[in-house]
Structure 1
């Protein structure tokens, strides 16, 4: 029985189930948020035991079969998993992660954790005390449970969860047993927010107060004092106010003192404004949530019942992600209790100074393309002061802390760095290295399972091999029929006019990308078409034909629905049907003022941490990149085909940049050559004869050979890369890789 429970077949089954669980966790995280995925799977106790069972199976088989003596590669492979498990265990119980916020010119040495910490401190009158600190995760998919008991002297403090909501917002509902409630939209020098007032309520808005039926008013600053019943409201304010009727758009002015308060009328004083949105004669306020997961910037709603003996009180905590919680105080049955829930502040053994935050934007749409932080690492213990540039995939790694770019402030004067402290990284990485060594070694070890199968395979007849190939072909997943870009007959006629042979020859020109790699224009064309449309080719044309048309006649292609949308909400944002799969470049801009329709949404999405981005956010960022790639193609800025004479870095430029940056003589050469080429292409489109366009293209080749020979790829290199582009190996072989992997997994059980 034990041998079956701890057999290697059981280990394979566990690995298969592990894959299923991780896949399920991904879907849960997408729909219900990271916290729910952690509560149900990643941080759950049962998941720990699940992984422990897998490790015990490996240890059992190592000891049972003494693989460290008989099959060392297999031992290495299995032992690697044990090391990875030790690293994961260390990460889980010792490591932590969070964020560090720094403004330009300032220095910070603290971070706040991503995890939500629940802290309780209780003390009685005799001086007895008790405390609690634990990480808590709540699920929006299943019921939640939180129950803790502290002993303070001879009394028990019991804390239990009453209600949890991922976000909290107040709503007003009419109720015959309710009381008067006013809905006011208040702008205190910033964006307006909705506030609710019952009789006797007063709220401080910084420069002024708002009060409803309050007898004794404060005198330190002006009060927007409302009085009366909801059907006959008046406002008393010590200054003149400008008014704007939201329905008629009529503007006016009311004197200081007592005046009537009208619904849907904006009352402005200074940079502040108040609007009475609605007045309810009988209503009540309730806290609700319409979300399945937590939202950045919005508080969670956690109602707790705190009991001491036969006395109890309810308290509501509203933690926010990345914010240390507010301490709430209760006195119950002779016990003083302080509670807090939120992020925990941790002091680091070093400091980071932000010298400069840089944000690069896409030309045209001006949406964020990338951002980075120029910082100085200050470690007094190690007597270290080191400048460093943090950006995507360029991480600051120091003393088991890893800092990488995460977000930034709206005014672009501050940065948000993700901080990861993970002592388990070293054993995990060693485990990965041993895993790779064990796998490769096992392929060549004479006693390995792979070699046994290989020896058996040599006995197969040719017909058997052919049968396996046919089986793989039959079982290989076929690409489903998917939506494709759409063009009108008039647009198709223009696109088909581009000569295929000439377009292919244009693809043989050398081009330099942003990273400095030299490659044929054909590679750029394949990348652009695939990026924009999600297809390797469209409209039955060569990618080079479409790409050349986008450069030469952007006004035509800007109206072709060829930019992949990826999310129905984005289609609605663009004013299209939610079923639309592709949009034209012009669909992204308002006709009235030319503004970019998704600018605000994209900016908001890019400021979120990757784990906080929804599927909509991720698709927004992707489609913004597609739009900007299309824009750079239409502008020709993606075509860095002109080498600068004598440049020490061998930098190449796009046509317009070359004309602006080169010396007058070389700039004139660029101007003449590109103008001649465009004219000859236009002539070819009109006449169908492309000999003159071919001649102008040879002129571009000669320019590259004259000034860019130092870095220009050889003709053979260009041709081989174009052949590789046409093969599209990965997309063709992927179904076979997938099928073969599934078959190997099935064979492991046989």
Structure 2
């Protein structure tokens, strides 16, 4: 009996086994993400996530947690620790209930359509047996809705060959037997069957595997007849006759009847102004309860769920039709679930949060014990306060959100009747046109001088544009292709970064550079500022000694006149000449025809260079500058009347508007404005080709600006420039309505662009972190304290850098109108901020913690500015407009900062191990102190990572109805939790050299975070959270391989001096 009890304890209440199961669990789900990348989500679910052995592993881990928790309670474990660990038990049980008793599906409705059926998300083998039929009947005579009376479903996996089954069931007093025979990957088989194409490539095989098109063969026996039936998992029906009945088999979703019906009254999509990017989409439905007879209406949109009779309906997607008029939205796709485990799972999440916070304050917890060891208790309360404050949107961000949410009431301005303009105004307008034409004729001879000296002189004049005028140009507003309104200063930064990949060119700053493209297109075409990294392309272009090429270098020299003619007057004839003269034309066409997954590095660089060429085609830049609002724009500002008219026309107070061409506005509710009209009125327009302009107003804008610039460049007379800029400013303010950025927003965006705080902070963090590291290391080796004045001076400088970094994030929050962690670039800025916070504010009294956090913050900012992350501020997809998302990302990304600090402290200890010497006992003491701080940082990081990951589940469940979908990002977050949980619990195994092992593992464990962030975003490129793949993945892979090599070298060198006797205080 004792042996059985010991065996049960070793199997179901063993700490070593629990740690092993956690590691095995993390390895399995990590492996599943690679299976998903290579074979698709369906295969990953069937082979791993939904397999019997994985469910067994979950149950085994659950029982072990309960068993270990029971033993710990007997030994007097603290309540906070018990609650935290018990929360995982509740979460796993809730997930199990959802897995086995819940279901998911979707409901597709066209406008005006009613339905009581949903389609399941899982695939089934659907079997139907018909009533008796006549001998001469055919499948065409059978109505499946009326004639098939017996049916059932079998949950079917594409990998049924690994778990083959035989089904026996009595149907109409006769036994029906269905036996699985085999299953094939149809896409893969077809690929090999097509011998005309030769041996398929690895890429073709990989793509075929991911198509998930399978055909299963079944042996069906009924009424003495035995047949083989093949069915595809694409939902097609296979029908065969057995005696006097028909049997149909289909492999796909099954239909489920709802106890109520839903009618789609209207589906609405609202795009961001001036773009095809959805801002929101909503389904207006009517619900009819069949049992009670109640009828009610409801609006379903992202983050607003219809919850009725245990069913939850989420806005998932929509259906469209392409037409000559563009995309037509024809209906809605609602995801549906019935989740009996949701409440229990949420209880588990609540216990997790309570336990995590309690652990930080429990005076007997491991965290506080470590705090006592390094005398840091006072810092923890400050940490919690800062974390709470960081989740509350500052007032500056609230103002931004208020500005972006004023889309509830609309104020429509009527179009001006051009014929109502006064005669005097028209005459003044024409005189100014004549004056501009005369000035243009005067300047043309000066521009014809294309010598190198003349071009240099004109560039020098660009650098001499008066500061006030340059400032005025930088404050012009422009609408991006995603509908985001920004200032010209931001746009010129983007153009400079895109083309030159630098902040300056020959002394020209971004605004001067853009003005050069506008005013001196032929001069700029001759200058080499287009950065090209591919040596093969440089050689093709005949540029062998430079990494930069000019626009003219891209074309055959003899064809440049034809190219310029095409830029000004595009015709079919000039287009043909353009193709002949463009050196890269055939390479571009070849690259475009290839699927993105098949493009090699050369193809990608060719397309990148082609994109730059398109920007630099003379006069082409005007096509990208959407600076002219629709004059019929909707004005959302109810405090003023929209004035749309000539530039010098204003309505004076008390003036009779009946005699003016400014027509008063009317106020209407938002619901009365159709999405198409809303989008049209909020779309800004570019000038287009200046040589094809017909609108006198646009001709005026173009001529006045270009001639004013050329007059200043050639004659050093800038007198016309303020008038030209003010005219555009005035037009924008009069016509942009609510989209017009106020002065505070403009000044904030200018400040954010001008101070360039993040690259500057990067260098300060790195330099100060390295200085502090070497000072602290030398102080330990020579056994002397760091002078207090020196330590305080470095700390004060780091604090100032951190404050500047914080101000930069707040400015970006205000300018963007959303929390600054919505894309890869912003999340790296936030990781750097959290890293700095962890050391500078929370663990500031340890110089090694301080230098580690500073260096890590600098490295995070360095990665952000490597070049593959786009710093551009843009609009958010509807699913990202959630307060739950802000909390989730804020916590989980901040955890990376603490776990990164743990990495740095572990690396510092590895270096100290290398320097250990019997004559330097102070090094051993420092290793123990740093190990304690390391563990504290890891505990904070793991608690935040756990809470943040599961709060992400709340966001997902409230947004699209599935709190855990094994998306690669959330999967690797769980892997990271498992990895760090193993590292934190390994000290309980009482193994030798625990200090060395813990610190070495703290370094190696961070690679799970790197995989969670970079691996998923840039390498796996699967799931909802991925950002990109290709160039960035290759660039990151090389750097990570180098880091892995350096890490392993340091760990191995430290291994030689791993024996540290002084461990009783921490690990006794």
Q: TM-score range by the shorter chain?
A: 0.5 to 0.7
Q: 2:360 aligns with which of 443, 446, 458?
A: 443
Q: What does residue 167 of structure 2 align with?
A: 149
Q: What does residue 350 of structure 1 align with?
A: 260
Distance 1:65 1:402 in 2: 43
Distance 1:496 1:91 in 2: 70
Cα shift at 1:36:
0.6
Kept after mapping to 2: 8 A contact 1:304/1:316: yes
Distance 1:310-1:351 versus aligned 2 partners, 3 A rule: closer
Distance 2:473 2:221 in 1: 79
Distance 1:642-1:172 versus aligned 2 partners, 3 A rule: closer
| 3-state SS of 2:64 partner | helix
Cα shift at 1:524:
6.2
Kept after mapping to 2: 8 A contact 1:409/1:416: no
Distance 1:550-1:451 versus aligned 2 partners, 3 A rule: farther
Q: What does residue 29 of structure 1 align with?
A: 36
Cα shift at 1:136:
1.2
Matched, 1:134 2:154: yes
Distance 2:711 2:748 in 1: 31
Distance 1:154 1:725 in 2: 79
Matches within 5 A, 1:58-457: 58-66=65-73, 70-120=77-127, 133-139=153-159, 144-150=162-168, 152=170, 157=177, 159-167=179-187, 291-294=208-211, 300-306=214-220, 312-320=226-234, 325=237, 328-330=240-242, 339-358=249-268, 372-380=281-289, 381=292, 383-390=294-301, 395-398=305-308, 399-410=310-321, 412=328, 413-457=330-374
Q: What does residue 59 of structure 2 align with?
A: 52
Q: What does residue 594 of structure 2 align with?
A: 572
Cα shift at 1:344:
0.6
Q: What does residue 828 of structure 2 align with?
A: 731
Query: Could you list the runs of 5+ residues in structure 2 that have no partner in the other structure?
Result: 1-5, 133-148, 196-204, 323-327, 378-451, 534-586, 652-659, 664-694, 760-824, 833-859, 864-895, 907-937, 939-979, 987-997, 999-1068
Q: What does residue 484 of structure 1 align with?
A: none
Distance 1:105-1:644 versus aligned 2 partners, 3 A rule: closer
Cα shift at 1:427:
2.7
Distance 1:740 1:354 in 2: 52
| 3-state SS of 1:160 partner | strand
Cα shift at 1:520:
5.8
String of CA shifts for 1:133-152, please: whole Å, max 9, x gaps: 3211114xx96442223165
Distance 1:429 1:406 in 2: 26
Cα shift at 1:410:
3.1
Distance 1:376-1:679 versus aligned 2 partners, 3 A rule: farther
Distance 1:54-1:293 versus aligned 2 partners, 3 A rule: same
Kept after mapping to 2: 8 A contact 1:373/1:389: yes
Distance 1:702-1:414 versus aligned 2 partners, 3 A rule: closer
Cα shift at 1:740:
3.9
| 3-state SS of 1:410 partner | strand
Q: What does residue 38 of structure 1 align with?
A: 45
Cα shift at 1:96:
2.0
Kept after mapping to 2: 8 A contact 1:508/1:521: yes
| 3-state SS of 1:423 partner | coil
| 3-state SS of 1:417 partner | strand
| 3-state SS of 1:80 partner | helix
Query: Could you list the runs of 5+ residues in structure 1 that have no partner in the other structure?
Result: 176-287, 461-489, 592-625
CA RMSD of aligned residues (A): 6.3
Distance 1:421 1:534 in 2: 54
Matches within 5 A, 1:549-588: 572=594, 578-579=600-601, 580-582=603-605
String of CA shifts for 1:393-423, please: whole Å, max 9, x gaps: 5554444313223241435433333333333
| 3-state SS of 1:378 partner | strand
Kept after mapping to 2: 8 A contact 1:560/1:585: no
Distance 1:576-1:658 versus aligned 2 partners, 3 A rule: farther
Distance 1:687 1:456 in 2: 74
Cα shift at 1:458:
4.6
Kept after mapping to 1: 8 A contact 2:84/2:355: yes
Distance 1:174-1:354 versus aligned 2 partners, 3 A rule: closer
Distance 1:538-1:86 versus aligned 2 partners, 3 A rule: farther
Cα shift at 1:642:
11
Kept after mapping to 2: 8 A contact 1:659/1:668: no
More deviation in 722-731 or 539-548? 539-548
Distance 1:67 1:640 in 2: 72
Distance 2:504 2:22 in 1: 40
Kept after mapping to 2: 8 A contact 1:62/1:78: yes
More deviation in 712-721 or 683-692? 683-692
Distance 1:456-1:376 versus aligned 2 partners, 3 A rule: same
| 3-state SS of 1:415 partner | strand
Q: What does residue 271 of structure 1 align with?
A: none
Matches within 5 A, 1:612-631: none
Distance 1:683 1:378 in 2: 68
Distance 2:461 2:253 in 1: 62
Cα shift at 1:30:
3.0
Q: What does residue 282 of structure 1 align with?
A: none
| 3-state SS of 1:320 partner | coil
Kept after mapping to 2: 8 A contact 1:67/1:75: no
| 3-state SS of 1:75 partner | helix
Normalising by structure 2, what TM-score?
A: 0.41
Q: What does residue 274 of structure 1 align with?
A: none
Distance 1:304-1:543 versus aligned 2 partners, 3 A rule: farther
Kept after mapping to 1: 8 A contact 2:265/2:286: no
Matched, 1:648 2:637: yes
Distance 2:630 2:365 in 1: 53
More deviation in 506-515 or 738-747? 506-515
Kept after mapping to 1: 8 A contact 2:518/2:621: no
Distance 1:676-1:122 versus aligned 2 partners, 3 A rule: closer
| 3-state SS of 2:321 partner | coil
Distance 1:356-1:46 versus aligned 2 partners, 3 A rule: same
Distance 1:382-1:401 versus aligned 2 partners, 3 A rule: farther
String of CA shifts for 1:347-375, please: whole Å, max 9, x gaps: 223333223345678999x9786784532
Normalising by structure 1, what TM-score?
A: 0.55
Distance 1:148-1:358 versus aligned 2 partners, 3 A rule: same
Distance 1:512-1:426 versus aligned 2 partners, 3 A rule: farther
Distance 1:337-1:360 versus aligned 2 partners, 3 A rule: same
More strand by share: 1
Distance 1:730 1:173 in 2: 47
Cα shift at 1:39:
0.9
Distance 1:575 1:686 in 2: 49
Distance 2:520 2:293 in 1: 60
